[in-house]
Amino acid sequence: MRNIFIAGNWKMHKTSKEAEALVKAIIPASHNADGKKKVMIAPPFTALYVVNTVIKGTNLMLGAQNMGPEEKGAHTGEISIGMLMDVGVSVVILGHSERRHVYQENDELINRKVKLALKHKMEIILCVGETLDERESGATNKVVEEQLKRGLNGVSEEQLSKVTIAYEPVWAIGTGKTATPQDADDTHSFIRDFLSSLYSSALADELVIQYGGSVKPHNAGELMNMSNIDGVLVGGASLIAEDFIKIINYE
């Protein structure tokens, strides 16, 4: 039985004060979280410290939305893995489509970050997904396969236990358009099959694959009930405590 993993990506929203209020509202809903049902939030960097102090002793996990590819040094504007660990981050989101498409991060850069995080035993959520043009030209599986192959280059079987994959079709992010549960499940199934060819079917079977892209309280249940969808990576709806709590308690 695979774990369930519900995650909220707050993107570039919330000051420290706002983040503190939001996380306090979410904490009670995370009480049922445990090793089998994980709940994570990824506030902006500037709110990580305060959110970490508030969630101490709870089951909420603290995520970061990105990190720099180097350990330390002259890298103006970057945040290092050590800095994230220092403020209690245990999961980092890498390769989000906004990083790929707005900030031109390529698979090679993302792979450097993946390897650095895993070297420090940090959990990662590696995001993959196709654009609308790619979907319409029938290239979805090919695009996702390349992103996985390059993103996970050099990642060992042992390290795979720290990896979650998030399938986020670019055209579904922030648009109100969701992949149908069946379409999402088909791509998740493709991802699992591809990873079983890269690693082993036993490891691919254990791997948690989240869906992301306009996940809301009304569609979380139907997505989560698909056999290959093990979690969700939520953007907009994770900024509203009531909505995110409904998603955590999906049926």
Out of 4, 5, 6, 9, point to the residue binding ligand 13P (CB under 6 A): 9
* Cα–Cα distance measured from residue 245 to residue 19, given in angstroms and rounded to the nearest whole number: 15
DSSP 169-208: -GGGTTSS----HHHHHHHHHHHHHHHHHHS-HHHHHH--
| Identified binder of ligand 13P from the candidate list 51, 118, 170, 173, rule CB under 6 A | 173
**Chain residue whose CB lies nearest ligand 13P:** 235
222 in catalytic set: no
Beta bridge partners of 61: 40
**Inter-axis angle of helices 217-224 and 241-248, nearest 10:** 20
* Nearest residue (CB) to ligand 13P, 171 versus 199: 171
Q: Site for ligand 13P (CB under 6 A): which residue of 105, 107, 123, 168? A: 168
User: Which residue out of 98, 130, 168, 188 is catalytically annotated?
Assistant: 168
Shortest gap between Cβ of 98 and ligand 13P (angstroms)? 7
Residue from 28, 82, 154, 174 binding ligand 13P (CB under 6 A) = 174
Q: Rule CB under 6 A: say whether 129 interacts with ligand 13P.
A: no
Residue 55 vs 233, nearer CB to ligand 13P: 233
CB of residue 184 to ligand 13P, shortest distance in Å:
13
Q: Nearer Cβ to ligand 13P, position 231 or 236?
A: 236
Which of the residues 88 through 117 are near ligand 13P (CB under 6 A)? 96
* 168 has catalytic annotation: yes
For residue 203, which of 239, 161, 167, 242 has the smallest C-alpha distance? 161
Work out how close the CB of 97 gets to ligand 13P at its nearest, in angstroms, rounded to a whole number.
7
Q: How crowded is the C-beta side of 4, counted as CA atoms within 13 Å?
A: 20
Largest pairwise CA distance in the chain: 48
Among the listed residues 96, 98, 105, 145, the single catalytic one is: 96
Question: Strands 4-9, 37-42: parallel, antiparallel or unpaired by DSSP?
Answer: parallel
Q: Which H helix or E strand runs over 60? A: strand 60-64
Instruction: Quote the least distance from Cβ 62 to ligand 13P, whole Å.
Output: 16
Residue with tokens 């450097």: 112
> Between residue 198 and residue 237, which ones bind ligand 13P under the rule CB under 6 A?
212-215, 233-237
Number of residues lying near ligand 13P (CB under 6 A): 14
3-state DSSP helix/strand/coil % of the chain, to nearest 5: 45, 15, 35
Residues 6+ apart with CB under 8 A from 67: 78, 79, 80, 81, 84, 92, 94, 113, 116, 117
The footprint of ligand 13P (CB under 6 A) covers 9, 96, 168, 173-174, 212-215, 233-237
Q: Which residues are catalytic?
A: 96, 168
